[in-house]
Amino acid sequence: MEIQLPYTPRPLQAVLHQELAQHRFSVLVMHRRFGKTLMVLAHLLRDAVTSTKKNPRYHYVTASRVMAKQVAWDYCKQLAEVIPGVKFNETELRVDLPNGARMQLLGADDGGDRLRGIYSDGLVLDEVSLLSETLFTQVIRPMLSDRQGYCVMIGTPAGHNLFYDYWCMAESEPGWYRKMYRADETGIVPDDELDAAKAAMSQDAFNQEFLCDFSAATPGAIFAKELDEIEEMQPSRITKVPHDPTVRVDTYFDLGVNDATAVIFSQKVGRALHVIDYFEARNEGLPFYARMLDEKGYLYGTHHAPHDIEVREMGSGKSRREIAYDLGINFRVLPKMPIEDGIHAAKLQIKRGTWFDRDNCAQLLEALRFYHRKYDPKNRMFRSTIQHDWSSHAADAWRYCSLAQREPFEGNVAPQQIAMSTYNPLETRV
């Protein structure tokens, strides 16, 4: 029985269908209005209908279930409604096919924990830049293993983030395929429409959305301008910065509990700050970081941590500072400061005499470029609040580093803000 899906691929899409059939892992960077969602759904549905495996399973995964329903569910029903015996499960966002195959839309709202235990013969990750860093390695890749399923990553650039990392990896990783489609090359969006969009959008936004430019500054980026200025005016400040064994290394921690912990390593050479190294890990305890410091082999000066290291844990009754001290890390506690004060100090520190090691601090530099404020579409302005994502931990560590370069402060707690007095004006005194 022949089934004709209501989908006619454009010439470029037809080529992609052929390429995707020949590669197990693919990364596709496509401009807005390329038709990528409809294309990958048709690809999944075709494979589901023609699969000869027992109980085939195909999945479309994006950042949230709400997004999956809004973006892809109507397309799924339009494509599959011509198949005799097909059933739609609105609650599960699932298409049940007469050959026993299923195609389902899923959201990775909780980092993908709900996807664990599912197997998949073919899977699409949409808007990869919005997904958890560990989703593919810890959840998706195991889903594909026993059935040797394939994975297609699609999206539009949003800075040098997770999607960019996979784009770079696909260039050299055996068995991976990658392809980029810019709007000024495909001819899908008419030239007059591109001109109108360019006039209405910022240059960075246009380059990102239509020209697939990973280097375009993220809207609302906080430190991108300062980094661009020093790269243009003083490129020698982001270069190879060798470790000086005669100078002690200071560290600046942003400690996560069930999240990432970021560590910046720097040396004060004269009046210049040399940022020589950066380390980040997640879901690890203080013993792990104590071993990491030993393995680095630096001669350490002062270890810095934010004020919340003083909070006592319910189980042990000890603060993390006390636990760290028992492990040989004597933290200097930085005073609690408003985030905006820290951002101001961090911007000034970038402009002043700071040198970054381009290789060892690549992850830190990418995070600083991406760190951005939330956008309020209703009022068409960026909020003062910061978007908490993968870049936040590195940026917070940089704020702490910058604040610590100010005049030295005494003590380990913030200055007292309310005067305390035992004087009682009603008390009778002799």
pLDDT at 414 over 70: no
Q: Where are the alpha helices (DSSP H) in 309-361?
A: 320-326, 339-351
> Worst-scoring range by mean pLDDT, 35-39, 64-68, 300-304, 417-421?
417-421
Q: What is the arithmetic mean of pLDDT over 338-342?
A: 91
Question: Picking from 56-60, 95-99, 134-138, 295-299, which range would have the lowest pLDDT averaged per residue?
Answer: 134-138
Position 328 scores a pLDDT of 93
**For residue 162, what pLDDT is reported?**
81
Instruction: Categorise residue 23: left if φ over 0, alpha if ψ from -120 to 50, beta otherwise.
Output: beta
* 349 pLDDT higher than 90: yes
What value does the mean pLDDT of the chain take?
88
Return d(Cα 406, Cα 404) in angstroms, integer: 5
At residue 81, the pLDDT reads: 94
Q: Tens digits of per-residue pLDDT, 253-296?
A: 999 866 789 999 999 998 899 999 999 998 888 999 999 999 99
State pLDDT tens for residues 71-128: 999 999 999 999 999 999 999 999 999 999 999 999 988 777 888 889 999 999 998 8
- Residue 2 pLDDT exceeds 50: yes
Fold of 224-404: Nucleotidyltransferase; domain 5 (3.30.420)
Q: Tell me: pLDDT of 418 over 60.
A: no
Q: Where are the domains of the chain?
A: 11-209, 224-404
What pLDDT is stored for residue 102 in this prediction?
95
pLDDT (0 to 100) of residue 386:
85
pLDDT at 146 over 70: yes
Confidence of residue 413 (pLDDT cuts 50, 70, 90): very low
Q: How far is C-alpha 267 from the chain's CA centre?
A: 28
- Residue 81 near residue 108, CB atoms below 8 Å: no
What is the share, in percent, of the chain residues with pLDDT greater than 90?
61
- Which residue is it, tokens 């020698």? 236
Under DSSP, the state recorded for 54 is: S
| Burial call 159-186: b when 16+ CB within 10 Å, e when fewer | bbbbbbbbbeebeeeeebbbeebebeee
Reply yes or no on whether the pLDDT at 410 is more than 50. no
Helix (H, G, I), strand (E, B) or coil at 208: helix
d(CA 281, CA 293): 13
Main-chain dihedrals φ then ψ at residue 206, nearest 5 degrees: -65, -45
Reference 157, options 115, 117, 129; nearest CA is 129
Distance between CA atoms of residues 102 and 96, nearest Å: 5
* pLDDT tens-digit map of 354-384: 999 999 999 999 889 888 888 776 666 677 7
| pTM: predicted TM-score of the whole model, two decimal places | 0.65
Average pLDDT over residues 209-213: 90
Q: How confident is the model at residue 147 (pLDDT cuts 50, 70, 90)?
A: very high
11-209: CATH topology is Rossmann fold (3.40.50)
What does the pLDDT look like over 229-260, one tens digit per residue? 888 888 889 999 999 999 999 999 999 866 78
Specify the residue for token string 């030295």: 408
The least confident of 200-204, 274-278, 312-316, 381-385 is: 312-316
Q: For the segment 8-23, what is each residue's pLDDT rounded down to a tens digit?
A: 999 999 999 999 999 9
Q: 412 pLDDT band (50/70/90 cuts)?
A: very low
